[in-house]
Structure 1
Amino acid sequence: MTVTAVFAAVVLFAAGCGTGGTGARDEGPARAESVASAPAAAAKPSRTPDRVDAVRLVKADPEVSAEVKRELKPCVADEYPVDVSYGSLTGGTVDDVVVNVLTCGDAVGVGSYVYREQSGSYVNVFSAEEPPVYGEIDRGDLVVTKQVYDRGDPVSSPSGENVITYRWESGRFAEKFRTHNDYGQVAGAEPTPVPDS
């Protein structure tokens, strides 16, 4: 009886851990190469830079479009709509900087950029300006999410998303994986009531 109870508990635990998902951001099973590369990354940690002035960095960047620079204005007082992340993407001695520029009203990403430290200054090594777009660091890879809209979709309700994973190779970011997620229709039609018998 005790062996059966333990076995049942192990099966339940394994099923709960192995089949659960995180929703629209679920990108499938972990890749084996990410496990193999973990010790190498730990052997050579990057130095996290002092806080970077992301607004000044983007505004001074000739590769950023004039449209994105126009969007980059304070939403309230001196608070700009930017998200900034630091992490090792390009294998440099100083962490790279990922900057996402958003709109003030609905926080839609209008531009995503990666800056790499070279000779004491930051250089743009990646740009994506097809809104809505958002870039993140995930285990040493650059993951860019682009929401997809069907005709008639409101800005607040995209139909799905493309999730693109890039890896730094030979001095540039190369696309490695691409996943498309369709969003479910949460607010569908109401069920037809069953008549009383």
Structure 2
Amino acid sequence: MRGLADKASAGPVPARGSHQAVITALVVFAALALFVSACATGGTGARDEGPAHDESAAGAAVTPSSAPSPMSTGRPGQAEVVRIVKADPLVSSEVKRDLKPCAADDYPIDTSYGDLTGGSSDDVVVNVLTCADGVGVGSYVYREQNGAYENVFKAEEPPVYAQIDRGDLVVSKQVYGKGDPVSSPSGENVITYRWNEGRFTQEYFWHNDYGTVVGDETSPVPET
């Protein structure tokens, strides 16, 4: 009986060994499968997912819908400004006649851009000068309206020069006394205009007479 019991107790041992062998084989097989899968994807799974999201975000950042419109900052160049001035019925015939290239295609104009009237596009300030000495013979402000430029200011009393200063239009006019040479004016009038209810109105007036500055706010506004 003892021998039978010993044989009976010894019988299952090979069975446990075979189960362990099967389990070990399955573990090794699973490990090999994971290794092969990792090699096929070129790296570890968790880390490979990260860059995929970054690339998607970068692609969205450069889509045409998020890019600024190329026409949002469009400004007329010198050739177009000259064409606008010559086609403007408010510009005097004398200024148009003298608006010719000083050399090659270089016209005697100074152009600046800025927000003076609160429109959707920059306003254009144009000063027409003489070729010989750069004296301003006409100053104009053009406002973009429905794809065209409208003259909203003009000053044609030479010497005159207009510029933009902190959102205001500042016009300088040199003053000559009797016998003053062109190179030596007696003084200068400086007038500041501000856009108000669809037109420029005068805000400030200064007269600079060689060190003496006189302020006045009642000077007339040039007709446009």
TM-score (norm 2): 0.60
Residues 6-25 of structure 1 mapped to structure 2, 5 A cutoff: none
CA distance in 2 between counterparts of 1:145 and 1:87 reads 18
CA distance in 1 between counterparts of 2:73 and 2:133 reads 30
1:51, CA displacement in angstroms? Answer: 3.1
Residues 33-44 of structure 1 mapped to structure 2, 5 A cutoff: none
**What are the superposed Cα offsets for residues 127-162 of structure 1, whole Å, 9 maximum, x if unpaired?**
000000000000000000000001111111111100
For residue 72 of structure 1, the aligned residue among 68, 76, 99 is 99
CA distance in 1 between counterparts of 2:73 and 2:159 reads 28
Asked if residue 49 in structure 1 is aligned to residue 49 in structure 2, the reply is no
Q: Which residue of 1 aligns with 2:86?
A: 59
For residue 156 of structure 2, the aligned residue among 95, 104, 129 is 129
The two structures, once aligned, show a CA RMSD in angstroms of 1.0
Matched to 2:112, the amino acid is S
Asked if residue 96 in structure 1 is aligned to residue 123 in structure 2, the reply is yes
Asked if residue 145 in structure 1 is aligned to residue 172 in structure 2, the reply is yes
1:164, CA displacement in angstroms? Answer: 0.2
CA distance in 2 between counterparts of 1:48 and 1:149 reads 40
Asked whether the equivalents of residues 102 and 108 of structure 1 are also in contact (C-alpha less than 8 Å), the reply is yes
Larger C-alpha radius of gyration, 1 or 2?
Answer: 2
Highest RCO, 1 vs 2 (Cα 8 Å, sep ≥ 6): 1
1:85, CA displacement in angstroms? Answer: 0.2
CA distance in 2 between counterparts of 1:50 and 1:178 reads 31
* Secondary structure, aligned partner of 2:76: coil
After the TM superposition, list the runs of 4 or more consecutive aligned residues in structure 1 that deviate by more than 4 angstroms: none
TM-score (norm 1): 0.68
* Secondary structure, aligned partner of 1:157: coil
Asked whether the equivalents of residues 116 and 124 of structure 1 are also in contact (C-alpha less than 8 Å), the reply is yes
Q: Which residue of 1 aligns with 2:188?
A: 161
**What are the superposed Cα offsets for residues 139-193 of structure 1, whole Å, 9 maximum, x if unpaired?**
0000000000011111111111000000000000000100011136xxxxxxxxx
* Secondary structure, aligned partner of 1:67: helix
> How many aligned residue pairs are there?
138
